[in-house]
Structure 1
């Protein structure tokens, strides 16, 4: 099952309520048109490739690696990609469309951002224009600056390698909340969860690297606080 097919199935299922108590039941049970998701993802991915002004073959290849479109209507989707990558104008509309659909499932929105990072890094570097694009998409998705720094740390080597940045938490967090934050982040990035969300192999491989960084950061904080074992409830 493809990535966006799983997105449609996910939002139409009641498991959405697991991550957001405030979801509108009518929205959560609404049957989503796959083409709507395809167009939003194509639009964001194509405009990501255009963000620095030049669309490279490696970026196009990276897009299709991550956001594999369904075989039905593939020619039309390819044409849509070619049209969307002519300019970055209108990317915010696509981002808002996904943000509205998945406001109660931030893990899926993070999967999308991970995919966009994959496209941005395809030609070997993330330019300031590309970083600005990623930041603006994250803002529309509802991620805080701290959360974006955590996501960024999974793709770009942090300058200071601050373990709190890698976990996306404040240094003054309590020991109990530290444990809760680690469990939440680790759960969202667990390979089984990614597979269930339909994340492609490229994202799953990236998740392995992110989990290694998350575990290392958590271990460093535990060591700094003199906590040599997981905290008790």
Structure 2
């Protein structure tokens, strides 16, 4: 059963008049939360809320979900339904972000730059949506900063994700690998291998990213490989 069919089932279970955000409560309280459904609805719902962060909703931002998810023929309607339900919901993005944080981080612990976690995956997906129109606005930056804070992601984690995905943002290869500037080549190699391992589709699926969202790994893998090559070349010079 595809993720889109499971999402349609989750939405169908809502009582008349219940908001989409109730889905997160039910996933959390089910005892065996359907993490991949939670991940997908989180990206679509927060993406819908963010789409107006720069004052407009562009076709590029709406279709940006294709940069993250694969859609079998006819399944786009399920994603569009989630997007529209989130836009219509009177709850603000902060309410969604808090519910998502409780679903994936029930202990409310701080998540640091070297902690590979599904909330970081969600933040990366939102950055891809934000930059889909070729620009990155102050409103989007403020929105994503607030989301990261609500998720419990530390400042270094936010800076690393932004440096990976925002063109024109300072992109130090050490930042991309989550390392301090003075890290040795051996430390960089170790960090690079850890990121490659944690970006493997099987590992990402184990923490809740659905197979339909494996495009998310492609951009991350490209950037961490580029960072490692840059550090290697610098050390060899």
Query: Does TM, normalized by the shorter one, top 0.5?
Result: yes
* Residue of 88, 103, 126 corresponding to 1:101: 103
Contact 2:67 2:128 in 1 (8 A): no
Quickly say closer, same or farther: Cα 1:147–1:43, change in 2 above 3 A.
Answer: same
1:147 aligns with 2:148: no
**2: distance between equivalents of 1:225 and 1:67?**
37
The 5 Å alignment of 1:51-200 reads 51-63=53-65, 66=68, 78=81, 81-85=83-87, 90-103=92-105, 106-173=116-183, 177-194=187-204, 197-200=209-212
**2: distance between equivalents of 1:141 and 1:128?**
20
Q: Secondary structure at the match of 2:165?
A: coil
User: Aligned-residue CA RMSD in angstroms?
Assistant: 4.1
**2: distance between equivalents of 1:182 and 1:3?**
33
Task: Report the alpha carbon displacement of residue 219 of structure 1 after superposing the two structures with TM.
Answer: 2.8
Quickly say closer, same or farther: Cα 1:162–1:106, change in 2 above 3 A.
Answer: closer
Task: Report the alpha carbon displacement of residue 112 of structure 1 after superposing the two structures with TM.
Answer: 1.5
**2: distance between equivalents of 1:169 and 1:4?**
40
**2: distance between equivalents of 1:33 and 1:179?**
35
Contact 1:111 1:199 in 2 (8 A): no
Q: Secondary structure at the match of 1:170?
A: coil
**2: distance between equivalents of 1:85 and 1:150?**
29
Number of the residue aligned with 2:33:
32
* Residue of 225, 228, 231 corresponding to 1:215: 225
Task: Report the alpha carbon displacement of residue 164 of structure 1 after superposing the two structures with TM.
Answer: 1.0
Count of residue pairs the alignment pairs up: 203
**2: distance between equivalents of 1:178 and 1:149?**
18
Where in structure 2 are there 5+ consecutive unaligned residues?
A: 8-27, 107-114
Q: TM-score when scaled to structure 2?
A: 0.65
Quickly say closer, same or farther: Cα 1:128–1:89, change in 2 above 3 A.
Answer: farther
1:2 aligns with 2:12: no
**1: distance between equivalents of 2:172 and 2:44?**
34
Contact 2:48 2:87 in 1 (8 A): yes
Q: TM-score when scaled to structure 1?
A: 0.66
Contact 2:4 2:78 in 1 (8 A): no
Number of the residue aligned with 1:12:
none
Task: Report the alpha carbon displacement of residue 170 of structure 1 after superposing the two structures with TM.
Answer: 0.8
Q: Secondary structure at the match of 1:50?
A: coil
